[in-house]
A and B are shown apart, each in its own frame.
Chain A
Amino acid sequence: RKEVEQDPGPFNVPEGATVAFNCTYSNSASQSFFWYRQDCRKEPKLLMSVYSSGNEDGRFTAQLNRASQYISLLIRDSKLSDSATYLCVVRRPPLGGGTSYGKLTFGQGTILTVHP
């Protein structure tokens, strides 16, 4: 089982639609959660962190369910500019001290295309 799994899509939605992506993770010790956005042939960019109580940033809402080990991203009122690949990212705590770091594990991404 992959550490982080996402539905690859593609999701094709019209402008103004609401679309939701889900992501599951296997490591129950995972500590922090993020959604990144990656445009075609560009670098991944942080979209938002995911808080335990859920959080909203404009048209974007992220939810975390630790018991079921899944994360979701809801996009309301989709824009053409939302077309991108959305990466679910999970971080485990640093293993041991010293220079260890909290490893980020990236899902393979969900492709979203918003059309006129």
Chain B
Amino acid sequence: DAGITQSPRYKITETGRQVTLMCHQTWSHSYMFWYRQDLGHGLRLIYYSAAADITDKGEVPDGYVVSRSKTENFPLTLESATRSQTSVYFCASSLTSGGGRDTQYFGPGTRLTVL
């Protein structure tokens, strides 16, 4: 049971470059999420997706682009990376929009450094 995977696990890039972080889940969960985690800020939602071809902004979407052409994949693209985007990025998924005890399950994270 692969669950939810992310790639790459570590990435170093330079300011101004485009970077794409991949997220893949095998649970057929409808909802997928991208968070970033920084010291002093905790986990902050960047974008989420309710289904294929349906995406919406979270708290900190500026500088990021997402797509979801297939239910199982939810890539996050930094169009022109900046140093402030150095962070740990977590992808998560949930079966539903959040009823009852349903909650989100996280991938292992991508540690991104922008020089």
- Residues of A at the B interface (CB closer than 8 Å) are 31-32, 34, 41-46, 49, 87, 89, 91, 93-94, 98-104, 106-109
Q: Kindly specify which of B13-21, B50-58, B76-84 makes contact with the partner chain.
A: B50-58
A108 and B97 form a contact (CB under 8 A): no
Number of A-B contacts (CB under 8 A): 60
Where chain A touches its partner, the secondary structure class is: loop
Q: Contact at A101–B97, with CB atoms within 8 Å? A: yes
8 contacts between A and B (CB under 8 A): A32-B101, A89-B103, A99-B97, A101-B48, A101-B94, A104-B104, A106-B42, A109-B42
Q: Assuming A101-B31, A103-B45, A108-B42, is B106 touching A43 (CB within 8 A)?
A: yes
Bound CA–CA A53/B107 (angstroms): 31
Tell me, in angstroms, the Cα distance from A44 to B36 when the chains sit together: 12
Tell me which residues across on chain A come within 8 A of B42, comparing CB atoms. 87, 106-109
Return the contact of B43 from the options A34, A44, A99, A101 (Cβ within 8 A).
Answer: A44
Q: Which residue of A lies closest to B111 (CB)?
A: A41
**Bound form: Cα–Cα A41–B104 in Å:** 18
Query: What residues of chain B have their CB less than 8 Å away from a CB belonging to chain A?
Result: 31, 40-43, 45, 48, 50-51, 54, 56, 88, 90, 94, 97-101, 103-109, 111
In the complex, the answer to whether A104 meets B103 with C-beta atoms within 8 Å is yes
6 closest Cβ pairs, A-B complex = A102-B98, A99-B50, A43-B106, A101-B97, A106-B43, A108-B42
Q: Which residues of B contact A46 (CB under 8 A)?
A: 103, 105
- B41: chain A residues within 8 A (beta carbon): 108
Q: Which of A34, A41, A42, A102 contacts B97 (CB 8 A)?
A: A102
List residues of chain B with CB within 8 A of the CB of A98: 50
A103 to B40, alpha carbons, bound, how many Å? 20
User: Considering the chains assembled together, what is the distance between the CA atoms of A31 and B107 in angstroms?
Assistant: 24
Q: Which residues of B contact A32 (CB under 8 A)?
A: 98, 100-101, 103
Point out the residues of chain A lying under 8 angstroms from B111, CB to CB: 41
**Cα distance, A107 to B44, chains bound together (Å):** 10
